[in-house]
Structure 1
């Protein structure tokens, strides 16, 4: 690991030094990087400080521009790029969110770094498929998140008499029933559209399996969407609503996580960024809380994560800062330090897994089985398609819409 770390930082230093400047007597100013991101919760803030510290240690100056909310942060980034005042780098999710910016020729590629580190072999295919466009790499992956982890309070399980963590969908619902009978909120949920989409994909992957998941989201197969198997998934998704509390609508995801941390709720289905909140609350995996990666031995691992993109600029100093930052972010030690606090796992497969916590070790072990790698919906769908499907899911969740109507509306949303 340390050799890889040294090589990555050495590459960054060499590229940063060579990106700019003609020979001159005075040393160039330290590379200054303004980074727009939405890592603003307690665990996220602690994690991004690890990147900032690593960048400073490499000789750079970090300028933190944190904006709450992914949609808002991305809008600010794009407006600034279009307005001619781009940040040095910006966070996006590992998805098609930044494809329009690539098409407009507004991002620099990071091909030199990708070739030097052999990303084609080092990175999982669902990640490569969205950061590599027309043969060029346009983003540096920061981490891997899995969207559909199940987090549970050990104290709540004990109070409800749940002796064994659920290992099937039926056992999952049985545990929810026991929590409800014990007077505990069974499922902590934030009633926001994107969180409801996570519940849907959890049911689709665990109940429908890899085949149905890909037919619906990647292939947008109309027969699969109209099938009894998909109807069963939608019914299971809607059943989850009977286990959330009345205050759920509008709740932030980290506030839902806090309910599990406090033992007021039994479980939460959320990406592994939630683990950062447990860590910030000084709770340990396997002690105060547990984590379940799937409800079947071969459950798909729904890969998403965060990337940094680098807007094009004619400023030589900014280019130097971008190259240094790209190398720092790609270094194994930076990725491990970030993920340890963020709740994710490093995107690199050559990290020392022994330094990771129990849940992260589970994720790293699963990632060794490429057959279980799947992207989240945003990997396969355009933002418009994903938004249209999300609108149907949240309407189905919050109204009396029938399952038959939901199937038809999803079919229409995903029709080519």
Structure 2
């Protein structure tokens, strides 16, 4: 018997005893069932794998006494903009998705979010959550977001059939091996790199190259420390050069392609590799494919490759209405509980935010990620944890110009440094 059944059973027994004690003539009518706590939830998870994943949270919330009202808005930027407009306009959702990043810092500073400190205290978040996540969601000593997953945005996914057709028997162990692998796929008539030519996807691929080729020390000097000498260094130039080498391995249809359409190229064995976040596994899963059987995955090159940490979280717009506050706290509790965490991650491709969950449903890529997360020296904050949204956007613009135009690496270095200077206060 679960806790909810025990509570319900206890309440029923108490009501029965009261009725008997009062006598037949004075027995009260049964109390009407409690009204479910309604929660309008704004998010951008609309692909097949994403929809299946968030359904796990919705079902768990409904089972806990809530009523999930789904308000999906396609596109992360559009969804966040919609949330902010609704908050300012006085029509805020009960909860809204943001990335586990600095994206919601401004609305915290403006006093537009409720904190969920009591939920965090009951859940012992201080002890169970990775510090990289705590550093983002706890602001001035208060928790303002409920993290729901840990994503690694720079996984390398590959088609086992495509590798076999190209005669590739092993995963690449170095960056040079990786480029040689792409050459072999190209020679076999397979699209080497499934690529979506959108600004945010270009940035993800760049950051993957940066972490692997430049290394964590240079990465942190640039993104965390805003070190202009590091940006102007030969080592950073080498990162830019290797990033643009990948242009030789994409197909003509890549500009503007959605990420899940790029994943579909790997799923259908038309492309060999995609560099994308582990949310892509949801698309493989939706197609009935299994990690280690139809597709493979590796987070980088070598046993100590950096593991970039990212994720998603839900924030709770400011309100003093008791029923809305109760809904927010119930939702935050459900989102971060072990059962829903395991069910969600199994479909989303992420790994749970907490270590005390049943991992039997998770694929080998997720189990690999969980094992890596135990080594704190391999954890690397993703750029959005280190950069304000305006600066991150400015750097995206620099990189898309470098990727799509005939700029020299030196021009890109200068533009990168200028963006840092212009957007740092």
TM (norm. structure 1) is 0.93
1:117-156 residue pairs with structure 2 within 5 A?
Answer: 117-156=123-162
Misfit runs of 4+, over 2 Å: 25-28, 352-355
Residues 124 and 373 in structure 1, CA contact (< 8 A), matched pair in contact too? no
Match of 1:104 in 2: 110
Residues 96 and 130 in structure 1, CA contact (< 8 A), matched pair in contact too? yes
Structure 1 residues 6 and 379, CA, compared in 2 at 3 Å: closer, same or farther? farther
- From 49, 52, 66, the equivalent of 2:72 is 66
Q: RCO (CA 8 Å, sep 6+): is it higher in 1 or 2? A: 1
Q: Return the offset for 1:26.
A: 6.0
Q: Deviations over 1:307-345 (max 9, x none)?
A: 011111132211111111111001011111001000100
Q: Return the offset for 1:114.
A: 1.3
- From 333, 354, 364, the equivalent of 1:348 is 354
Q: Deviations over 1:73-97 (max 9, x none)?
A: 1111111111111111001000011
- From 252, 259, 266, the equivalent of 1:260 is 266
Q: Return the offset for 1:274.
A: 0.2
In the alignment, the residues of structure 2 paired with residue 78 and residue 98 of structure 1 have an alpha-carbon distance, to the nearest angstrom, of: 9
Match of 2:378 in 1: 372
1:43-54 residue pairs with structure 2 within 5 A?
Answer: 43-54=49-60
In the alignment, the residues of structure 2 paired with residue 28 and residue 257 of structure 1 have an alpha-carbon distance, to the nearest angstrom, of: 45
Where 2:245 maps in the other structure, the secondary structure is helix
Q: Return the offset for 1:354.
A: 3.3
Query: Runs of 5+ in structure 2 lacking a partner?
Result: 8-30
1:209-228 residue pairs with structure 2 within 5 A?
Answer: 209-228=215-234
Q: Deviations over 1:116-156 (max 9, x none)?
A: 22222211122111101111010000000001000000000
RMSD: 1.5
Where 1:319 maps in the other structure, the secondary structure is helix
In the alignment, the residues of structure 1 paired with residue 3 and residue 180 of structure 2 have an alpha-carbon distance, to the nearest angstrom, of: 50
Q: Return the offset for 1:352.
A: 2.5
Query: Runs of 5+ in structure 1 lacking a partner?
Result: 11-24
Q: Return the offset for 1:28.
A: 4.2
In the alignment, the residues of structure 2 paired with residue 254 and residue 234 of structure 1 have an alpha-carbon distance, to the nearest angstrom, of: 26
Give yes or no for the alignment of 1:400 onto 2:406.
Answer: yes
In the alignment, the residues of structure 2 paired with residue 342 and residue 244 of structure 1 have an alpha-carbon distance, to the nearest angstrom, of: 26
In the alignment, the residues of structure 1 paired with residue 195 and residue 366 of structure 2 have an alpha-carbon distance, to the nearest angstrom, of: 23
Match of 1:116 in 2: 122
Match of 1:200 in 2: 206
Match of 1:35 in 2: 41
In the alignment, the residues of structure 2 paired with residue 70 and residue 295 of structure 1 have an alpha-carbon distance, to the nearest angstrom, of: 30
In the alignment, the residues of structure 1 paired with residue 210 and residue 37 of structure 2 have an alpha-carbon distance, to the nearest angstrom, of: 46
In the alignment, the residues of structure 1 paired with residue 366 and residue 48 of structure 2 have an alpha-carbon distance, to the nearest angstrom, of: 19
In the alignment, the residues of structure 2 paired with residue 252 and residue 193 of structure 1 have an alpha-carbon distance, to the nearest angstrom, of: 11
Residues 343 and 361 in structure 2, CA contact (< 8 A), matched pair in contact too? no
Match of 1:77 in 2: 83
Residues 385 and 413 in structure 1, CA contact (< 8 A), matched pair in contact too? yes
